[in-house]
A and B are shown apart, each in its own frame.
Chain A
């Protein structure tokens, strides 16, 4: 029975109504973009939050993915991911019209946006590495909307790994810096090079870095001598995503924190990076085997 007239009854039987892939685009050899029907998440999510999904809800695994964008009117969320393991590989094989078996979210605490959180608007540098640009997008958008000057540094190994360049240019305009390891697009070098220059100029109020853990570690080390507040978004191993399993625990300022409920964003200067990077590799040998298994399955087809 639905609630009385005038009260929205949003809860519907989700089978065949939600989690449908509306749009799929391959952004590079290994990076994909999916727009997925998830109206409740699209409406509730805020910048910085993530989802957990399963491609198969019987024997599949649960993996966290950050929400790249959302359209509350169309009721869709955008997921951008790189095929790194068995589940992302299976996800990349789904097509428009297919359904993702399970999506839970939005999870984690939203980003604290300068200009809205009590701190005055200022100059924020957003550093996105590889596919980490996707979760940076809604944050950069929110920072801009809150009146900040936003500089965006996008880094990747090579040109083909850049995602959402147009979207990021729309936010940062001429303050968009592209940098690749091999110089195939923009500057040649590492994201920490322009980051250091900017910090040295003394104009930066805050840095937000999202990308591979090693990149976030070195961004944090780069900003430390300049005492610039540095926020990072972590994406460790997770099962439930609601604080029950403790698999995502890390050490921040010497205290154990659960990324799923205490994060995903933390002060990059306080994170024990070596421990975090090490914990992410806990299941590497098993995961490599699973990936190969899935890979062979698809080759066989």
Chain B
């Protein structure tokens, strides 16, 4: 096919549940490409010599390589190319911000002068992973002969899953410790079922078990057992800390401790992990607000505002203090939220929350903003417009403005160095911390980041661990 012929292929449309229907169920919104569409979409790749898409990928997947295989219908071959650098394609194909990564640099999008018309790399990635999983065609992972070395992996989110898998493949005896009763970290407590089905996460956990990884749930390192004891008393030769973000941030405004104000972590954990959406079946109660205001503009804010609709809210507001150009969430999630009926209040921010005589949230006072000069982050900083206060009638407020780092492990581990924000300091090449043999990666190092970055960190740490254990 010539470039011209490729350009003539229309971008393939991925079927989705109808917005009116899906805003009332928990099933996955995006239904994935049919096989023919996946092949056609993959065949739009121009196979550029300089592979600009790869520069945009945090883990540098050989994107033109896997797209060529997928275009030829060899999805298993495509998957093995992806898996050479990315362990979680079914997850990343769904949750990566592709429009800011690989697809941003796609030549096809540039030629068609519309980044939305770039090759849908993520959707093809997702198809390859789903196809292999659903048809039982995933290649068996080879494990090197047992080394007799023991590795402890703390946490079970994307960084930890990746690190555990890579260490197990190298022949080490890996034990994963998770404080919750279920594994997956933010993939199970945070990201909702309608964006990432939990069966997919469980499949990855089962894959770890098949690799011989032992899993200890309900085990909180720092409390149940100190990190140092794992090395000094329990015979672990290396430790990976992938405990993710913690301590939800609040706005520090009046009324924030009223009943009906939640961190997005709590709101989503109740709904996702604790299955509170299954009313009369799950024991964990949920706050079924009718009018919900979500503060923030990231993917978590989108998840919370969309969850509110699914759990009975008649009105779901998303309040973000900058404009649509600065909103950090994925474009696809913003579109999905808007289609489902989430009302975006941009360039506005909460000033205080009102409670009724019973101390329940009954309203929120907001201020309007305009964009001023660019700040340290390069984004134009919002400046409040004096006297622009107005009140919204809401019964629930969800604060989704990010997390501080979790202090549990640093506070209970002598000699573990952290920066002034509490993130663990690591060697950027090996991810080793200030304690020899102890490695770290993911949000506990980076602060709030993405699944793919966490995965990349887990992979680099595993390489660091494997080299350390060889020496």
Known: A61-B284, A239-B274, A281-B259. A3 touches B235 (CB 8 A): yes
**In the bound complex, how far is the Cα of B311 from the Cα of A286, in angstroms?**
15
Chain A residue with the shortest CB-CB distance to B215: A13
Whether A9 and B181, one on each chain, are in contact in the complex, defined by CB atoms closer than 8 angstroms, is no
Which residues of chain B come closer than 8 Å to A281, judged between CB atoms?
259
Q: Which residue of B182, B225, B266 is within 8 Å of A246 (Cβ)?
A: B266
* Contacts A3-B234, A251-B257; A104 near B224 (Cβ below 8 A): yes
Q: Which of B19-42 contact A (CB under 8 A)?
A: none
Interface of A is mostly: loop
CB of A62 within 8 A of CB of B265, answer no
Majority secondary structure of chain B interface residues (helix, strand, loop or mixed): loop
Given A247-B262, A251-B257, A256-B257, A3 and B150 contact (CB-CB distance below 8 Å): yes
User: Does B137 belong to the interface (CB within 8 Å)?
Assistant: no
| Residue in B closest to A251 when the chains form the complex, CB atoms | B257
**Does the CB pair A102–B217 fall under 8 Å?**
yes
Interface contact A278-B359, CB-CB below 8 Å? yes
B173 at the interface (CB under 8 A from A): yes
B148 and A1 contacting across the interface, CB-CB below 8 Å:
yes
Instruction: Output the residue of B179, B225, B284, B359 with the most chain A CB within 10 A.
Output: B284
Which of A18-59 touch B at CB < 8 Å? Answer: 40-41, 44, 54, 56-59
B48 interfacial contact with A, CB 8 Å? no
One of B51-59, B243-251, B424-432 contacting the partner: B243-251
Across the two chains, which residue of chain B brings its CB closest to A86?
B283
B218 touches A44 (CB 8 A): no
Taking a contact as CB atoms under 8 Å apart, the answer to whether B233 and A244 are in contact is: no
Contact across chains for A240 and B180 when beta carbons are under 8 A apart: yes
What's the Cα separation between A258 and B404 when bound, in Å? 13
Residue B131, interface by CB 8 Å: no
Contacting residues, chain A, for B179 (C-beta < 8 A) = 104, 240-242
Establish whether residues B235 and A102, one from each chain, have CB atoms under 8 Å apart when the complex forms. no
Pick from A10, A246, A261, A279 the residue with the most CB of B within 10 Å. Answer: A246
Taking the complex as formed, is A16 at the interface, i.e. its CB lies under 8 A from any CB of chain B?
no
| B322 contacts A by Cβ under 8 Å | no
Q: CB of B112 within 8 A of chain A?
A: no
1/0 per position for A105-142, CB-CB distance to B under 8 A?
A: 11100000000000000000000000000000000000
Instruction: Tell me if A261 and B285 are in contact (CB < 8 A).
Output: no
* Residues of chain A with a CB closer than 8 A to B274's CB: 61-62, 239
Q: How far is the CB of A49 from chain B (nearest CB, A)?
A: 8
Closest to B275 in A: A59
Are A240 and B235 in touch, CB under 8 angstroms? no
A194 near B: Cβ within 8 Å? no
B residues less than 8 Å from A256 (CB atoms): 250, 252, 256-257
The reply to whether A2 and B406 form a contact with Cβ atoms under 8 Å apart is no
**Residue pair B150, A1 in contact (C-beta under 8 Å):** yes
Known contacts A9-B234, A279-B259: does B269 contact A239 (CB below 8 Å)? Answer: yes
Q: Could you mark each residue 275-292 of chain B with 1 if its beta carbon is under 8 Å from any beta carbon of chain A, else 0?
A: 100101111111100000
* Distance of A282 Cα from B234 Cα, bound (Å): 42
Given contacts A1-B173, A7-B235, A106-B224, contact A59 B282 (CB under 8 A): yes
Contacting residues, chain A, for B220 (C-beta < 8 A): 104-105, 107, 241-242
Residues of B within 8 A of A101 (CB): 181
Contacts of B408 in A (CB 8 A): 242-243, 261
> Is B406 a contact partner of A4 (Cβ separation < 8 A)?
no
**Are the CB atoms of A9 and B282 closer together than 8 Å?**
no
Contact B175 A11 (CB under 8 A): yes
Q: Is A253 an interface residue (CB 8 A)?
A: no
A8, A105, A244: the one within 8 Å of B234 (CB)? A8
Instruction: Confirm or deny: A190 has a beta carbon within 8 angstroms of a beta carbon on chain B.
Output: no
Given A14-B216, A245-B248, A278-B359, verify A44-B285 contact (CB < 8 Å).
no
Task: Tell me, in angstroms, the Cα distance from A9 to B152 when the chains sit together.
Answer: 13
**CA of A248 to CA of B398 in the docked complex: distance in angstroms?**
15
Q: Are B181 and A242 in contact (CB under 8 A)?
A: no
In angstroms, Cα B248 to Cα A2, docked, is: 38
B269 touching A244 by the CB < 8 A rule? yes
Residues on A with C-beta less than 8 A from B65 are none
B368 at the interface (CB under 8 A from A): no
CA distance A8 to B260 in the complex (A): 48
Pick the residue among B216, B219, B235 that contacts A9 (CB under 8 A): B235
Please name all residues of chain A whose beta carbon is closer than 8 Å to the beta carbon of B214 when the two chains form the complex.
11, 13
- 1/0 per residue, CB under 8 A from A, across B310-331: the answer is 0000000000000000000000
Chain B min CB distance to A178 (Å): 35
Residues in B with CB closer than 8 Å to A3 are 150, 234-235
Given the known A-B contacts A7-B233, A244-B265, A249-B257, are A105 and B224 also in contact in the complex, defined by CB atoms under 8 Å? yes
Query: How distant is the Cα of A44 from the Cα of B230 in the complex, in angstroms?
Result: 13
Residues of A within 8 A of B281 (CB): 59
A94 close to chain B: CB less than 8 A: no
Say how far A2's CB is from chain B's closest CB, in angstroms: 7
- Do the beta carbons of B263 and A245 come within 8 Å of each other? yes
Interface residues of A in 251-284 (CB under 8 A from B): 251, 256, 258, 261, 275, 278-279, 281-283
**From residue B65, how far is it (CB to closest CB) to chain A in Å?**
38
Is A293 part of the contact surface with B, judged by Cβ < 8 Å? Answer: yes
17 A-B pairs besides A11-B216, A256-B252, A283-B285 with CB distance below 8 A are: A10-B234, A40-B224, A60-B284, A61-B282, A61-B285, A62-B181, A104-B220, A105-B220, A107-B220, A242-B406, A243-B246, A244-B246, A244-B248, A245-B248, A247-B262, A251-B257, A282-B287
The 9 tightest CB contacts between A and B, nearest first, are A3-B235, A246-B263, A61-B283, A286-B285, A245-B266, A61-B284, A283-B285, A246-B248, A282-B259
11 CB contacts below 8 A, A to B, read A3-B150, A106-B223, A240-B180, A241-B220, A242-B220, A244-B406, A246-B248, A246-B263, A275-B257, A278-B359, A282-B287
